[in-house]
Amino acid sequence: MTRRTNLYTVATLDPTFLSATELLDELRGKRISSSELLEHYLDRVERHNPDVNAVVTLDTERAREQAAAADDARSRGEDLGPLHGLPITIKDALETQGLRTTCGAEFLAAHVPAKDATAVKRLRDAGAVIFGKTNTPTMAADGQAYNTLFGTTNNPWDFERSPGGSSGGSAAALAAGLTSLELGSDISGSVRIPADYCGVYGHKPSYGLIPLRGHIPGPPGSLVEADMNVLGPLARSADDLELALDVMAGPDEARATAWRLELPPARHSNLSEYRLAVWLDDEACPVERELVDILRGAVDALSDAGAQITERPAPVPLEEAWRTHRALLMGVASAGLSDDDFAGLSGFAGSAPPDAEETVALLHARWLVQSKRDWNFVHDARTRAKAAWADFFQDFDAFLCPVACCAAPPHDQSPDMEARVIEVNGETRPYWDQVCWIAYAGAAELPAVSAPVGTTAAGLPVGLQIVAPYLEDRTAIDVARRAADVIGGFVAPPRFRTEQLGATA
């Protein structure tokens, strides 16, 4: 690797697991160059990606040109933006100009967009060097990161387990030290759950905060903004989440004619001022007891550090939240059904008697073929939930709860997702229970952060979900930041901790 005389020696700096914020400080201080940092990540992808399978497409030569240009600009005293020269990767569901974007679908294997997704362009315009794409399930429609085009992404903490989905490749790449910052998407926990399972940070912004143009699904070229779907960063620190949010948030070109964005600051400047409501288990979706104990320890640490903790449930019952969220989610998913599939599901849902057992398959069938009249009732429930949360946040600054009911489960690629199961407290639960606790923020369009707070006895990460008031994203991020000061933040998976810059595996 070519080195400049004004940089530290190889042994001085290991950038692998530094946060993006720390890496930008190193770049600005000329202690490492963009080209050197890019080569470091490319080397790690070459050595470690065969095991993790998180990065599925590289843009090596163009990234090298852009990194060199960023270094030259810095040498001239030019500032390219807040991400000047930072090498990053992007979930393969976001269109990238000149770089294939497949969303894990074979029919998109040769899709090379002519322009960037709006959020991707904002990252580039801020100086980021995009060097690759990360894995996602086919059309982002699974709770893991597996597809027939690129195969399975493994969790860096345990290769036999899922990294979560659908931004599983994003979270796995960060945890394994293959990239510095990621852009994912979240309609059903697809940022928060992978962040939880892989031990990194993930932010689901308030709905509508970051433009969705260029996200797949819908189909390439779609101008429709899917209900509940958001784009959000994954990172190795809470500071990085805010850094990326500031770059990407704001109205799209059409709305910018009149709209301006001015997100309020975090509600408080120290932990002792925060009023935090906490709910760590619920019979509507039981949580693994070991996870509850770990989360309880994190909450107790926050309390000991001065936070005002109140044990109380959310203003919307969990079962009501997940049913509302799931009905809205299936309403979005129905747009991708073929006529034959829609007819088959309509027949299945219509033939079930009113008192039939509400299996996952039956509920999903009913919601996939729901009428606009039915959807209106669900939308009313969502609107009432938003109002209830707004009242709730008059008394509390944030709501703390689990991200998921379990730690990362083993891989399961059985084709019938409705029939899959997970194990919680020794009992079999539906696979879809993984996306119950994320429903609070999803259905009510609230910002939420997944922050790592510990590991299980088996060495699997556990995350705490921090839900904040609508458009008060900085409050959610700030609570995560202050929690890291008390509890500790990102920790690299054991098998990846010992390497130093320039060392061989």
Q: What is the pLDDT of residue 38?
A: 98
Give the integer Cα–Cα distance in Å for 464 and 192: 10
Flag whether pLDDT at 500 surpasses 80. no
- Phi, psi (degrees; rounded to nearest 5) at 449: -115, 135
The pair of structure tokens assigned to 164 is 């979560």
Q: What is the DSSP string of 439-451?
A: HHHHHHT--EEEE
Helices within 167-286 (DSSP H only): 168-175, 192-198, 238-248
Residues 82, 37, single domain; the answer is yes
Q: Provide CB contacts within 8 A for 354, sequence distance 6+.
A: none
- In a domain? residue 301: yes
Q: What is the pLDDT of residue 318?
A: 98
Residues 288, 234, single domain; the answer is no
Residues 321, 440, single domain; the answer is yes
> Please, which residues bridge with residue 96 across strands?
99
How much is the pTM? 0.96
CB 209 within 8 A of CB 464: no
Does residue 505 sit in helix, strand or coil?
coil
Residues 293, 413, single domain; the answer is yes
Residues taking part in catalysis: 91, 166, 190
Give the integer Cα–Cα distance in Å for 489 and 492: 10
Could you read off the pLDDT of 293-307 as tens digits, one per residue? 999 999 999 999 999
Number of domains making up the chain: 2
Could you read off the pLDDT of 235-283 as tens digits, one per residue? 999 999 999 999 999 999 999 999 999 999 999 999 999 999 999 999 9
CB 16 within 8 A of CB 503: no
CB atoms under 10 Å from CB of 125, counted, come to 13
Residues 240, 287, single domain; the answer is no
Query: What Rg value do the Cα atoms of the chain yield, rounded?
Result: 22
Q: Is 354 exposed, middle or buried (0-12, 13-18, 19+ CB in 10 A)?
A: exposed
Residues 282, 180, single domain; the answer is no
- In a domain? residue 471: yes
CB 314 within 8 A of CB 399: yes
Residues 207, 70, single domain; the answer is yes
Flag whether pLDDT at 462 surpasses 80. yes
Flag whether pLDDT at 8 surpasses 60. no
- In a domain? residue 30: yes
Flag whether pLDDT at 12 surpasses 70. no
- Phi, psi (degrees; rounded to nearest 5) at 411: -55, 140
Flag whether pLDDT at 6 surpasses 60. no
Nearest CA-CA partner of 285 in 413, 185, 189: 189
CB 172 within 8 A of CB 89: no
Q: What is the pLDDT of residue 78?
A: 98
- In a domain? residue 269: no
- In a domain? residue 212: yes
Asked, as a colleague might, if the bond just before 166 is cis with ω within 30 of 0, I would say yes
Residues 244, 343, single domain; the answer is no
First to last CA, the chain: 17
CA angle (165, 413, 425) in 5-degree steps: 75
Give the integer Cα–Cα distance in Å for 315 and 175: 34
Banded model confidence at residue 390, pLDDT cuts 50, 70, 90: very high
The pair of structure tokens assigned to 177 is 């030290």
Flag whether pLDDT at 385 surpasses 90. yes
- In a domain? residue 258: no
- In a domain? residue 326: yes
Banded model confidence at residue 499, pLDDT cuts 50, 70, 90: low
Mean pLDDT of all residues in the chain? 95
Could you read off the pLDDT of 163-208 as tens digits, one per residue? 999 999 999 999 999 999 999 999 999 999 999 999 999 999 999 9
Does residue 220 sit in helix, strand or coil?
coil
Residues 19, 65, single domain; the answer is yes
Beta strands in 187-274 (DSSP E): 201-204, 230-235
- In a domain? residue 238: yes
Residues 113, 165, single domain; the answer is yes
Helix, strand, coil fractions of the chain, as percent rounded to 5: 40, 15, 45
Q: Give the residue numbers spanning the domain of 422.
A: 276-485
Which CATH number covers residue 337? 3.90.1300.10
Average pLDDT over residues 212-220: 97
Q: Is 469 exposed, middle or buried (0-12, 13-18, 19+ CB in 10 A)?
A: buried
Greater confidence, 2 or 338?
338
Q: What percent of the chain has pLDDT over 90?
A: 95
Q: Kindly compute the dihedral angle of the four CA atoms of residues 129, 135, 136, 138, in this order, to the nearest 10 degrees.
A: 120
Residues 16, 96, single domain; the answer is yes
Residues 168, 232, single domain; the answer is yes
